[in-house]
């Protein structure tokens, strides 16, 4: 069985639903990386829709701080339930926020967080499915913050793809295999 799968896709591509469908176990640890903004009703509705779609037997862990996710993955045992992380774009946005990188500070801290995450994924002992936005197919963002986010997420996705056994790209709800389990890296 594949131990690590990276599921990439654009906004509203169906990547999260596809990733959820990869796990047929009764018990799954669902790691939600999005930060909650109680004043943003639309964001809370999106989170509620994701929650409603998951089986009741799945356990949700909110890990909005970058080190929360890294620590959780590092502490896994082979007998732990599978883990689904959704999604790494919101995780990275939180890392950029925490480091003050939007204002031009802390880029080195973000790089350290990304390296720690890649290392934790490589060492995770239980079945792992990661969801991330694919950002390399669009135009060059016109803002510094847009380019910063795109560049860091593109780099993070590439580094994670190197340590994952299987990589999928979901386009218009259709999964495309970029690397099959057991395939060359």
For residues 73-95, one letter each, b for 16 or more C-beta atoms within 10 angstroms of the residue's C-beta and e for the rest, the string is bbebeeebbbbbbbbbbbbbbbb
Burial class (CB in 10 A: 0-12, 13-18, 19+), 17: middle
Tell me if residue 105 is catalytic: no
Q: Which residue has the tokens 């986010």?
A: 149
Residue whose C-alpha is closest to residue 87's, from 1, 173, 185, 13: 13
Backbone phi, then psi, for 86, in 5-degree steps? Answer: -135, 110
Catalytic residue from among 18, 50, 67, 152: 50
Residue whose C-alpha is closest to residue 31's, from 78, 76, 68: 68
Which residues carry out catalysis? 50
């Amino acid at each position: 069985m594949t131990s690590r799968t990276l599921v990439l896709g654009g906004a509203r591509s169906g990547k999260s639903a596809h990733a959820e469908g990869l796990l047929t176990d009764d018990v799954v640890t669902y790691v939600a990386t999005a930060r909650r903004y109680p004043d943003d009703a639309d964001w809370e509705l999106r989170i509620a829709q994701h929650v409603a779609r998951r089986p009741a037997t799945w356990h949700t862990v909110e890990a909005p701080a970058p080190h929360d996710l890294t620590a959780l993955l590092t502490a896994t045992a082979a007998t732990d339930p599978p883990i689904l992380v959704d999604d790494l774009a919101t995780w990275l946005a939180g890392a950029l926020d925490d480091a003050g990188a939007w204002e031009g500070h802390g880029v080195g801290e973000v790089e350290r967080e990304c390296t720690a995450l890649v290392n934790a994924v490589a060492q995770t002992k239980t079945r792992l499915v990661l969801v991330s936005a694919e950002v390399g197919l669009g135009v060059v963002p016109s803002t510094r913050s847009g380019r910063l986010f795109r560049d860091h997420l593109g780099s993070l996705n590439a580094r994670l793809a190197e340590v994952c056994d299987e990589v999928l790209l979901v386009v218009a709800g259709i999964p495309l295999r970029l690397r099959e389990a057991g395939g060359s890296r």
